[in-house]
Amino acid sequence: MHSNPSQKYQPFAPIALADRTWPSRTITKAPIWLSTDLRDGNQALFEPMNGERKMQLYKELVRIGFKQIEVGFPAASQTDFDFVRRLIDEDLIPDDVTIMVMTQSREDLIDRTVEAVKGARRAIVHIYNAVAPAWRKIVFNMDVPQVMQLVKHHVSHFKMRSDAHPETEWTLQYSPETFSSAELEVSLAACQTAIEAWGVGPDRKIIINLPTTVENATPNVFADQIEWMHRHLVPREHIVLSVHPHNDRGTGVAAAEFAMMAGADRVEGCLFGNGERCGNVDVVTVALNMYTQGVDPELDFSDITGVARIAEECTSLPIHPRHPYAGDLVFTAFSGSHQDAIKKGFAAQDPNGVWEVPYLPIDPADLGRTYDSVIRVNSQSGKGGISFLMEREHGVVMPRRMQVEFSAVVQRQTDASETEMTGDALWKLFDATYLATPDTAEAIVCHAHHVTHDGHSIELDVTINGVRQTLQGEGNGPIAATVDALGLPLRVDHYEERATGSGANAQALAIIEAAMEGVAGSTFGAGMSANIMTASVQAVVSVANRLHARRVGQEESTADTTAA
């Protein structure tokens, strides 16, 4: 028993590669992608996909643009065998797509695998065996020469079987499983054994696929391992160097990216990082990371939500709301300063220019996502996001000082409710704050108004303190005349009116900022009507009611302080 359990583990030795070159490289083109959703992804599910689900996902992978798809492990199950046969017999493999199938290095399994794919135009057969010390010792009970013999024997066996079917263009993929946990010399020897047994040459290529079967070190270590192999494998020009990262340490994407910088030509992974344990590398993230660096990934994620829903349906696994690019929340900002910057960014973005909306690494529209969910409002939100939503969803453009005032009202509400506010809820709050008549006896209710032809005199039909009355006022316009009619010491500091909506549904929204003698500060009022005059009169009444409420509040708090 360890007194300190962390002592049970050993660090993975760094690779001696002082002259490494990968750190100063960049990724400039898409790799050859292989989707292993139907194999490594499938073998990691509670319930492996049935033929129908496999077909649905296969078609989606083809649509996305994968040119190599690992479609199963046909020697392992009848479902996989039948699925592979169906693809071939029903001619469901497009000319530019090559299917791959996996098998252990066992003669009977290789024979059954060849049965499954014979007749295909092209096929990649993926043979693997683990090479790391723990697997040699614990799983296979083999020394290194025996492992080499295993490779040689089974690659030769596959060569013999596939040579009997020249109608198919066969490619061998050899994977030294557990590569990242093995001595580099042993992995290299296993690969060279496979290369030799397959007879690699200009017309006989091989894919050497190097996995982090279990991710066990920082991704720079994997990059060193790949660069080392890239330098040592021969004949390198006839070898496609592939990587197959897993994500046990959460660095599968970084490992794939560094590996490409270190010489990998090909990347194997799954959509949204499905796969054994913590998943295979997420090809969506790797591809879209590339996209945001101006490199075409050659995979189509222009409807990422559609892809996500199909992946979820086929795997029965949910995608985390914060999953890069695809999660429900990744184009959503709750916090005030982010909302403010995004709002300004959208306004400033040149539709033909370089993307530079702050806090959004990619244009949501490029992934088929709308801006609808970009900004959401909760207690962390500020005026930027609130005014963005009010403008976009309700056509309400508030002056800056009103944005500040209304965001404080929203904040009180979200603090109390501890929930998010939808666009509709925001509108209800705006309506209750500025447009509705306060539910107090003293509130001024304006039932009707009549303006003279010259616009300088007004007659108001109002109820004040429960008494219905007619008031008259004069001024150089309807606002001044309304203030005069109400007989209140109001000073109008700012007025604006604009249309919300268009056509028959257009409404005028009038906004007034005013102060009142004896009341601290100014406040806003608003009026909304199909008639612009009515909107202005209501805005004056609104601000008068709000200032009055503020005075009452002031008086109450003074009375409280005096009593205390």
Ligand X SMILES: CC(=O)SCCNC(=O)CCNC(=O)[C@H](O)C(C)(C)COP(=O)(O)OP(=O)(O)OC[C@H]1O[C@@H](n2cnc3c(N)ncnc32)[C@H](O)[C@@H]1OP(=O)(O)O
Q: Is the dihedral of CA 94, 97, 103, 107 positive or negative?
A: positive
Q: Secondary structure of 353-418 in the HEC alphabet?
A: CCCCCCCCCCCHHHHCCCHHHCECECCCCCHHHHHHHHHHHHCCCCCHHHHHHHHHHHHHHHHHHC
Minimum Å gap between C-beta 309 and ligand KIV is: 26
Residue 350, CA distances (Å) to 34, 302, 347, 353, 366 in order: 36, 20, 9, 5, 15
Q: Of the ranges 138-146, 208-216, 232-240, 512-520, which one interacts with ligand KIV (CB under 6 A)?
A: 208-216
Q: Is 175 an interacting residue with respect to ligand KIV (CB under 6 A)?
A: yes
By CB under 6 A, which span of 190-198, 209-217, 331-339, 382-390 interacts with ligand KIV? 209-217
The smaller minimum CB distance to ligand KIV, of residues 103 and 536, is found at 103
CB of 320 to ligand X, least distance (A): 23
Residue (246 or 548) nearer to ligand KIV, CB: 246
Nearer to ligand X, 73 or 83 (CB): 73
* CB contact set of 11 (below 8 Å; sequence gap of 6+): none
Q: Please identify, among the stretches 109-117, 207-215, 361-369, 525-533, the one whose residues bind ligand KIV according to the rule CB under 6 A.
A: 207-215
Q: Is 334 exposed, middle or buried (0-12, 13-18, 19+ CB in 10 A)?
A: middle
Please list, in sequence order, all residues whose beta carbon lies within 8 angstroms of the beta carbon of residue 386, skipping any fewer than 6 positions away: 339, 377, 403, 406, 407, 410, 426
Partner touching 495 among ligand X, ligand KIV, none, CB below 5 to 8 Å by kind:
none
Interacting positions 244-283 with ligand KIV (CB under 6 A): 244, 246
Which residues contribute to the annotated binding site for Mg(2+)? Answer: 40, 244, 246, 280
User: How is residue 461 annotated by DSSP?
Assistant: E
Q: How many Å apart are CA 522 and CA 401, to the nearest integer?
A: 10
Nearest to 124 by CA among 208, 223, 225, 244: 208
Q: DSSP readout, 206-235? A: EEEEEEESS--S-HHHHHHHHHHHHHH-TT
Task: Select from ligand X, ligand KIV, none the partner in contact with residue 104, using the beta carbon and a kind-dependent cut-off of 5 to 8 Å.
Answer: ligand X
Contact 523/489 with Cβ under 8 angstroms? no
Q: Which does 37 bind (CB under 5 to 8 A by kind): ligand KIV, ligand X, none?
A: none
Residue 40 found at the interface with ligand KIV (CB under 6 A): yes
Residue number, 209 or 216, with CB nearest to ligand KIV: 209
CA distance 103 to 129: 9
Q: Among 174, 166, 236, 161, which residue's Cα sits nearest to residue 202?
A: 236
Residue 175 binding: pick among ligand KIV, ligand X, none (C-beta 5-8 Å cut-off by kind): ligand KIV
Q: Which amino acid, residue 336?
A: G
Size of the site for ligand KIV (CB under 6 A): 9
Contact region for ligand KIV (CB under 6 A) — 82-90, 205-213, 376-384, 399-407?
205-213
Residue nearer to ligand KIV on the CB measure, 279 or 478 = 279
454 SS3 class: coil
Residues annotated in the binding site, as ranges?
40, 244, 246, 280
Q: How many residues can be counted in the chain? A: 564
Question: What minimum distance in Å lies between the beta carbon of 193 and ligand X?
Answer: 14
Q: How far is the CB of 55 from ligand X (least distance, A)?
A: 20
Instruction: Tell me if 280 sits within 8 A of 43, measured CB to CB.
Output: no
Of all helices (H) and strands (E), which one includes residue 476? Answer: none
Nearby residues of 169 by Cβ (< 8 Å), 6 or more positions away = 121, 122, 123
**Chain positions contacting ligand X, by CB under 6 A:** 40, 43, 73, 75-76, 104-106, 109, 128-129, 139-140, 177, 213, 276
Nearer to ligand KIV, 213 or 387 (CB): 213
Query: Binding partner of residue 105 among ligand KIV, ligand X, none, CB under 5 to 8 Å per kind?
Result: ligand X
Among ligand KIV, ligand X, none, residue 22 binds (CB under 5-8 Å by kind)? none
Instruction: From the list ligand X, ligand KIV, none, pick the one residue 53 interacts with, judged by a Cβ distance below 5 to 8 Å according to partner type.
Output: none
Within 92-131, the residues that bind ligand KIV by CB under 6 A are 128
Tell me how far the alpha carbon of residue 26 is from its chain's centroid.
24
Stretch touching ligand KIV by CB under 6 A, among 206-214, 255-263, 412-420, 491-499:
206-214
**Rounded least distance, CB 76 to ligand X, Å:** 3
Residues that bind ligand KIV (CB under 6 A): 40, 128, 175, 177, 209, 211, 213, 244, 246
